[in-house]
Structure 1
Amino acid sequence: MARTRVVLWDFDGPICRLFAGHSAEDVADGLVEWLEGRGLHHLLTESERESLDPHVVLRAVDRLRPGSDLVAELEERLTQEELRAASSAMPTAWADPLIRTWTALGLRLAITTNNSPRVVAKYLTGRGLASCFTPHVYGRTQELQLLKPHPHCLHRALRATGSAPDTALMIGDTPSDFLAAREAGVPFLGYARNERKEKLLRDAGATSVVNSLETVLRVVRERP
């Protein structure tokens, strides 16, 4: 952290629990039912249908129908569900003060996420945090093959902020965040709100993991 000049935040996890009041499992089930209602259940394997992860459903359809109107409509349906979820998202403990402290210290902050940038903007505006990140919000685009673990959104953030990878820090809570950071050459700090999350991160190769952002905030405030 001593040489960090720009912090790349994943959104759902380190900043908030997006689906705290609007189940991601229900969203995934809704996308599967929507496909089945159009006779397109064959686009998903059994494990994909049962994944309970809307991004798994979206990626699966994009692999078979890349760039299609079907994928665009499915992505928009997911975005609308994410926008609904943003209204009941639960802020991650200590994230807001950490964001404000880093901003006050002059660090540049960016969002690098697989969620829609429209959702990020809605949440940050509601928390009064938009000015801490604007214009550096890099989220899901129509090019779904570039979602993390592909480092595309990290590369976009680094280019836009004029930052070298070794002067950045990525904060994420999933193996895909870690893998994207490793591919981009960006130091990675894992945030794990429970033991299961920590095990997934460490099994992926992450070596620096905290269970509370208070730990990070304390280090930042104690730096000379």
Structure 2
Amino acid sequence: MTSEDVIVIRRARAVLLDFDGPVCDAFAGYPASEVAQDMLASSSEAGVPISEEAATMTDPMEVLRYLFKVAPERQAESDRMLRDAEIFSVEKTSPTPGTIDFMEACRETGRSVMVVSNNSPEAVKVFFERRNITNYIYGIVGRNPSSPNLMKPNPYLLNLAIKKLDKTFSECLMIGDSVTDIEVAKAVNVPVVGYANKPGKAEIFRSLGSDFVTQNMGELASLVRVENSYQ
């Protein structure tokens, strides 16, 4: 960790926090691969053509994009399937270690936290409400149910979140655990922290230009609590 790394964290006046990964494992209660296959099976039964390539998909977000491409008239139903699965799953998952402490640290130091996620906003809301921790966040910007093409790495969600926060791009800090999080933050010139929660991610995030990489959300809590935080 360098002094420049620390400054990136301490300068932030608002945090754009990805949900699946940094906050919790959104599919711990209903594995992502099962959700993807169930969505494909239900769509096939409804007459939606499923290609051989699509039939092997294990990422629900990619399945949603595919279904929107081949059956846009069923987008409401496609999104409902995923939303219901997400809600079912998040009710059974636990917060990522260190995340509650990180959000507490942000609140203590006057930093607003906006959850920005490709997951449905309803599922994110359920997660926070069930655990009585909605007071830790400023708000939620989640997937647009009518247009999966607006999910990250499209900058739409980040732009919307920053507008709601009434902050400049340089005052915000994105925290995410996926390549798309790093890519979209770099695309709009928002400083970004890569949460490397799996082997190999740290190297990938650094190669993509992540401003800071951590394997521990608690580490970020310690950094934002440093005195004279705004430099």
Q: Establish whether TM, by shorter chain, passes 0.5.
A: yes
Cα distance, 1:171 vs structure 2? 0.3
Query: Paired residues, what number?
Result: 219
Kept in 1: contact 2:48–2:71 (CA 8 A): no
Cα distance in 2, alignment partners of residues 82 and 113 from structure 1: 12
TM norm structure 2: 0.89
Match of 2:27 in 1: 19
Given candidates 18, 33, 38, the residue that maps to 1:10 is: 18
List per-residue Cα deviations over 1:143-180 (Å, max 9, x = no partner): 21110000111111111111000010000000111111
After TM superposition, list the pairs within 5 Å mapping 1:70-149 onto structure 2: 70-134=74-138, 136-141=139-144, 142-149=146-153
What percentage of residue pairs aligned between the two structures are identical? 29
Work out whether 1:30 is the aligned partner of 2:38. Answer: yes
Change (3 A) 1:60 1:88: same
Report the AA paired with residue 110 of structure 1. Answer: M
Question: Per the alignment, in what secondary structure is the counterpart of residue 17 of structure 1?
Answer: coil
Distance 1:3 1:218 in 2: 14
User: Equivalents in 2 of 1:146, 1:105: separation in Å?
Assistant: 32
Say whether 1:163 aligns with 2:171: no
Task: Call closer, same or farther: CA 1:25–1:8 in 2, change over 3 Å.
Answer: same
SS at match of 2:53: helix
Task: Tell me by how many angstroms 1:2 deviates.
Answer: 2.4
Runs of at least 5 residues in structure 1 that lack an aligned partner in the other structure: none
Moved more, 3-12 or 205-214: 205-214
Classify the secondary structure of the residue corresponding to 1:190: strand
RMSD: 1.6
Equivalent position amino acid for 1:73 in 2: E
Structure 2 gap segments, 5+ residues each: 1-8
Matches within 5 A, 1:38-57: 38-42=46-50, 45-57=51-63
- Aligned counterpart for 1:189 among listed residues 184, 190, 193: 193
Structure ranking higher on relative contact order (CA contacts 8 Å, 6+ apart): 2
